[in-house]
């Protein structure tokens, strides 16, 4: 399943008004740690056990992604954020140099929850 890009603040807000779980990868195309975690994020999104979870990406380097990023109070790339029924429930920044541990934390969180 392809991960959709949230391309307007309205789409971002609309997704948060829907019931269920949303995971967003706030990234930049010029961020080396973002490139390291991208395939891992894709793999999590494509797990059968996560088929009811909606996965998105927001490119904060360009508009309107930078507006969405400000609205979400994200100040670092990459940042992974989980929302449940519109409320933020988890957030992690991937450090530079990159570590895959925040991505593994996300995977464990999604695996342990009964969404």
Which domain, by its residues, includes 15?
4-112
Pairing type for strands 79-84 and 87-93 reads antiparallel
Distance CA 103, CA 17 (A): 25
Whether 34 sits among the annotated catalytic residues: the reply is yes
Whole-number pLDDT of residue 108: 97
User: Which CATH number do you get for residue 58?
Assistant: 3.40.30.10
Write down the catalytic residue from 23, 24, 31, 106: 31
Instruction: Identify whether the C-beta of residue 88 lies closer than 8 Å to the C-beta of residue 81.
Output: yes
Instruction: Identify whether the C-beta of residue 77 lies closer than 8 Å to the C-beta of residue 27.
Output: yes
Instruction: Identify whether the C-beta of residue 19 lies closer than 8 Å to the C-beta of residue 50.
Output: no
How does pLDDT run across 38-97, given as a tens digit for each residue? Answer: 999 999 999 999 999 999 999 999 999 999 999 999 999 999 999 999 999 999 999 999
Instruction: Identify whether the C-beta of residue 24 lies closer than 8 Å to the C-beta of residue 83.
Output: yes
**In this model, does residue 1 exceed pLDDT 70?**
no
Write down the catalytic residue from 22, 34, 45, 92: 34
Whether 83 sits among the annotated catalytic residues: the reply is no
Band (pLDDT 50/70/90 cuts) for residue 105 is: very high
What total of structural domains would you count in the chain?
1
């Amino acid at each position: 399943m392809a991960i959709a890009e949230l391309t307007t603040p309205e789409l971002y807000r609309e997704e948060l008004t829907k019931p269920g779980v949303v995971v967003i990868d706030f990234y930049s195309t010029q961020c080396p740690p973002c490139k390291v975690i991208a395939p891992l994020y894709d793999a999590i999104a494509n797990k059968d056990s996560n088929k009811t979870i909606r996965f998105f990406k927001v490119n904060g380097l360009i508009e309107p992604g930078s507006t969405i990023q400000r609205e979400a109070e994200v100040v670092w790339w990459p940042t992974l954020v989980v929302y449940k029924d519109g409320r933020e429930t988890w957030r992690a920044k991937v450090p530079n140099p990159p570590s895959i541990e925040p991505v593994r934390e996300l995977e464990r969180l999604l695996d342990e929850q009964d969404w």
